[in-house]
Chain A
Amino acid sequence: MIELVDVKKRFGLKKVLQGVSFTAPRGAITCLTGLNGAGKTTILKAIMGLTPIQSGSIRIDGSAPHQAMYERIVYVSDQLTMPGRMRIADCFTFMQDYYRNWNSDRANELLARFQLNAADKVNSLSKGMAAKLNLLFGLAMDADYMLLDEPFSGVDIFSREEIAAVFSSEMVEGRGIILTTHEIKEIEHLLDYVVMLDHGRITKQFASEDMRMEEGKSVVDVMREVYKR
């Protein structure tokens, strides 16, 4: 599991995370949600070592993060992180070169499923295609954890459905998934755990099915309660 304990982070003088603690277990889909600027992306970047934290601890399967660990955790950010002039096929070669657990067969299978062309250059893709390619890079790795930052944002409805279908498939089995989004409504039925953030603090965290069972509330209901202004 990925565990954060009392994580605090500042950007200059601005406090971005003010004591965040939560656990994202393996084999489950955990959603980090909150309004824009709540600190969701920062948490994902901190887990990946892309931005430092000032205090608190982040533990992945019990140990502190070290660079070799990032073979088992993939981060699917909201931007494509490959040079614009590279072709998709070259990106695959790159990934194969540096990652032992890159699954070429699955990569090609997903390429066909998402209807992407290996000869296309990265900077020629539309937003929806880029989002799918990004997701592909994450799924084609045999990783234990997947962190997804706003996988549905700015993507047309059909691409959204395709992406949501991934979360119902065997590709997520056994993996720990953390995804951030501020659009809960369409995907609430897919989530196991929900962590709500507001200005760098956790305001509520729960298991969605328990909330439905015990209080008859949907995740959106809880959000309305928590964020009512």
Chain B
Amino acid sequence: MELLYNNRDPVYLQVVRHFKERIATGKLLSGDTIPSRRELAGQLGINPNTAQKAYKEMEEQGLIVTEGNSPSRITSDTVILGRIREELLTEAVDTFLASVNNIEVPAEQLLSLIRTRLEKKQASQSDQDLGEKGVT
């Protein structure tokens, strides 16, 4: 696992964000164990202090829980998990809105464009799935 680092944002926050993404996209499920601080540093190619900071931040935000000496696990708290999804979606939307900010477009047109593209994407996705199952 290698992350490309944007050197302008604190590295430890980028690590936390990476975990939030994996949780939101279902790659990490609640209850899954995550690598230790040391392993994390090695896998991500970061300084162990940064890994330590990231861990602490994730514990403080309630993303992970550590019981005694066992490896830390992703939280099972659905409120927190929901909040993460919300946070990432909001962020994505804000980024999108910022990028179309300069293009003058009424809200309904924007929403209908989004709906069309989404439907198209879902259609081609299911075609792909059928194709994979060997159905012509």
Classify A-B as touching or not with yes or no (CB < 8 A): yes
Number of interface residues of A (CB under 8 A): 25
Contact code string B7-45 (vs A, CB < 8 Å = 1, else 0)? 111111100000000000000000000000010011011
Determine the distance from Cα of A170 to Cα of B41 in the docked complex, in whole angstroms: 8
A129 CB–B CB distance under 8 Å? no
Chain A contacts with B in 126-155, Cβ cutoff 8 A? none
When distances are taken between beta carbons in the complex, the residues of chain B under 8 Å from A28 are 49
Using known A-B contacts A212-B9, A212-B11, determine if residue A169 contacts B49 with beta carbons closer than 8 Å: no
Interface residues of A (CB under 8 A from B): 27-29, 164-165, 167-170, 172-173, 188-192, 209, 212-213, 216-221
| B38 and A170 form a contact (CB under 8 A) | yes
Contact of B7 with A188 in the complex, beta carbons under 8 Å: yes
In the complex the two chains form, is A168's CB within 8 Å of B11's CB?
no
Q: Judge whether B11 and A169 touch: CB under 8 Å.
A: no
- Interface residue B88 (Cβ < 8 Å from any Cβ of A): no
Q: Which of A168, A217, A220 is B48 in contact with, Cβ under 8 Å?
A: A168
Using A209-B50, A218-B7, A219-B7 as known contacts, say yes or no to A164 and B45 having CB atoms under 8 A apart.
Answer: yes
Contact check, B11 vs A217: say whether CB atoms are below 8 A apart. Answer: no
Instruction: Report A-chain residues with C-beta under 8 Å of the C-beta of B10.
Output: 209, 212-213
- Distance, CA A110 to CA B121, complexed state (A): 50
Q: Determine if A168 and B41 form an interchain contact, defined as CB atoms under 8 angstroms apart.
A: yes
- List B contacts of A216 (CB < 8 A): 8-9
Contact B49 A192 (CB under 8 A): yes
Pick the contact of A173 from B7, B13, B45, B48 — CB < 8 Å? B48
For B53, list chain A residues within 8 Å (CB). 209
Chain A proximity of B1: nearest CB distance (Å): 12
